Amino acid sequence: MIKTYTILHNLTLGAFFSAYKDILNQMIAAIWDQIQWNIKPINGKKQKRAFPTIPNYSFKKGMRTRYLMNWTYAKHWIDSALKTAFSIIKSWKKNYIKGNRKRNKPIVKRSFVRVKQTLMKLEGNQLRITIKPREFVYIDLSKRYFKLEGKLGEPILTPTKIHLPIEKNETEKIPQNMIGWDSNKLSLDGFSDNEGWIKVDLKPLHRIHITYDNKMRNINRIYAKNKKKGKLLYQKYKKRERNRVKNYLCHVIKKISSIAAVHGFEKLEKQKMHRKYHHKWNRELNHTDWRKNRFIYEKSS
């Protein structure tokens, strides 16, 4: 089992993050240009669709040699960027085939780096990270809220935080009580052999979304006359909506977690449930917070 822990740091590496993001986007663009598109018929339909084929290892090796020429930081950061670039393209391909992405090149907008094992070393409570040859930065882990028990994976470093994945070997235990939750528009319905049927009401959550939908309509009128004011109001009330939704979901998860059992949630994809020309249905579907509900439970457990 892998658990990821996040801690803050005070490193100032703006130029490094900028250089990494630039070269990462260059690599993604280079891979994108080499993708082969194969037109194939869709099973059971008359239409045809273009399926992408990603370049092979030899192309990756040539990219490494090319991007190392003007790179001033440690060479292993190029390997890290290559691994990340191919991971992003593969993730896009998987979602594109499912119909969740369009034929648009992915672009990295946020600053982050993937720290390879060869670029870091744990020295007591200090995590040493190589930036340039024989130039290091240190992240203090002495005030962490978790134990460093298990294998440390490849951390993700951002301008303000570091995310540490730790692999833990735990003996698998078969739980005595399990509850499977059915995610509906206005409720969560669970069933177990011990508890029977359980229903959690989500109508207040639905009302929160409707309330802020009405506020957004008024803000749209303001935005038409004053874009700056409308944008500030939009950001303000969207943040309020997120906070109220999160607060209510935390109460829901607290109620669910009070039942001694292992809880399982459906993994639903709303994109595939949308209906053409059914605007009311699509709007109400967008008001559901199934993924966020599952995420908060997994984070709290």
Confidence at 130, pLDDT banded by 50, 70, 90: very high
Quick one: DSSP state of residue 42?
Answer: P
pLDDT value for 16: 94
The answer to whether residue 272 scores a pLDDT higher than 90 is no
The C-alpha atoms of residue 186 and residue 252 are separated, in whole angstroms, by 13
Look up tokens 């977690």; give the residue. Answer: 257
The answer to whether residue 173 scores a pLDDT higher than 90 is no
- Strand ranges in 102-235 using DSSP code E only, listed in sequence order: 113-114, 120-123, 126-132, 135-140, 151-152, 156-157, 161-167, 178-183, 187-192, 196-201
pLDDT value for 298: 77
More confident residue, 175 or 244: 244
Mean pLDDT of 230-259: 90
Confidence at 171, pLDDT banded by 50, 70, 90: low
Mean pLDDT of 12-31: 94
The answer to whether residue 27 scores a pLDDT higher than 80 is yes
The answer to whether residue 76 scores a pLDDT higher than 90 is yes
Predicted confidence (pLDDT) per residue in 142-159, tens digit: 888 888 777 888 999 999
- Which pairing describes strands 262-265 and 178-183: parallel, antiparallel, or unpaired? parallel
The answer to whether residue 161 scores a pLDDT higher than 80 is yes
pLDDT value for 125: 87
Predicted confidence (pLDDT) per residue in 94-114, tens digit: 999 888 888 999 999 999 999
